[in-house]
Structure 1
Amino acid sequence: MASSIHEMLRANCKCDDVAKCVLGLKNLDLLAYKKLFEQGPMTAEELGDFLQRERSTAYRSLQNLIAVGLVYRETKSIQIGGYYYEYVAIPPMQFKEMLKQNIHDWYNKMDRLLDDFEEELLDSASK
């Protein structure tokens, strides 16, 4: 994957590359999202089995996905007492809109920063 915006503009990027860059995800995180969306709600252990990884590894990816808003968890009750969590992926259309909004927000922030570019550049050079 490209390591800078300049490289990304020149590279043959795919949607996964954009998602990883914009949201700071890893390959396994995206694979976990895709499996969760395809298969429907599941536990961390079930996801680990699908990914052929330990439950703890699947859980870390789930935490990354929850942190960026691509997955949420639901509490399920066990009839004999207790509970467990099932994880649910948001729909791809919502994912796409989230990416667009993040890119839009980033662009606006960079645009505002660049308004003072010359002044800041010259100010830092005189120090």
Structure 2
Amino acid sequence: MARSEPPNLARCPDCDTVAIGSHGVECCDREMERLSGTQPPIEPAVEVLLETVFGIGETELDVCLCVMEHDGVTVAELADRLEFDRSVIARHLVDLVEIGVVERERRLLRQGGHVYVYTPVPEQVVRERLLSGFAGWVEDAVAELDAISREKIEAIPDRDRDGERDQQIFR
């Protein structure tokens, strides 16, 4: 499978909306302009990205990778393989199921009772879910930055008629 072009930042010249996309991102009924020189000074590591955007820490990532390597595993099997307490594994699995990268299936045991078996979600589905989650995170981050900008602009003291600034105290 060929890799798609990496996403770039783009800006609408009409309304200054910023977006992320590979090509053909449109706003205000026309294609947005690609912003040049927007490469981050440091490429974020996957671990940093997963922790920052999705709250997936190192242990949770280990659990996720173990599920992917050993398709169809239980909490007990994961605890043995990773040498973590079962309660730690179970807590991380709940998060991974909620994020949508791992699925949980209840299986009945012959001797009675049941056990939950965890399997990885197909790679393409995970990519789409993570990309969607990341896009939502970026949208929220941009809204936060926009709110900060508006607050700063609104906090600029008005000049009175004499051209002198009114005093304002910020705490």
TM band (smaller chain): 0.7 to 0.9
Bigger drift between 93-102 and 39-48 goes to: 93-102
Report the Cα offset of residue 36 of structure 1: 0.5
CA deviation digits over 1:17-40, x for unaligned, max 9? 222221111101111111101110
1:35 to 49, 61, 66: 66
Q: Which runs of 5+ in 1 are unaligned?
A: 1-8
The worse-fitting range, judged by mean Cα deviation, of 40-49 and 101-110 is 101-110
Q: List per-residue Cα deviations over 1:53-75 (Å, max 9, x = no partner).
A: 12122112212212222222100
Q: Which moved more, 1:67-76 or 1:24-33?
A: 67-76
Residue type at the aligned position of 1:75:
R
List structure 1 segments (4+ residues) > 6 angstroms apart after TM superposition.
none
Q: Deviations over 1:67-89 (max 9, x none)?
A: 22222210001123221111122
Which secondary structure does the structure 2 equivalent of 1:87 belong to?
A: strand
Cα distance in 1 between the residues matched to 2:142 and 2:87: 41
Are residues 70 and 34 of structure 1, via their aligned partners in 2, closer, same or farther at CA, if it must alter by over 3 Å?
Answer: same
Q: Could you say if the C-alpha distance between residues 106 and 31 of structure 1 is closer, same or farther in structure 2, counting changes exceeding 3 Å? A: same
Query: Is the CA contact 1:45–1:55 (under 8 Å) kept in the aligned structure 2?
Result: yes
TM-score normalized with structure 1 length: 0.76
- Which 5+ residue runs of structure 2 have no aligned equivalent? 1-39, 158-169
Which of structures 1 and 2 has the bigger CA Rg? 2
Structure 1 residues 115 and 58, CA, compared in 2 at 3 Å: closer, same or farther?
Answer: closer
Deviations, residues 36-59 of structure 1 (Å, cap 9, x unaligned):
011101110100111111212211
Greater fraction of residues in helix = 1
The structure whose RCO (Cα within 8 Å, separation 6+) is larger is 1
Q: 1:111 to 1:20 in 2, by over 3 A?
A: closer
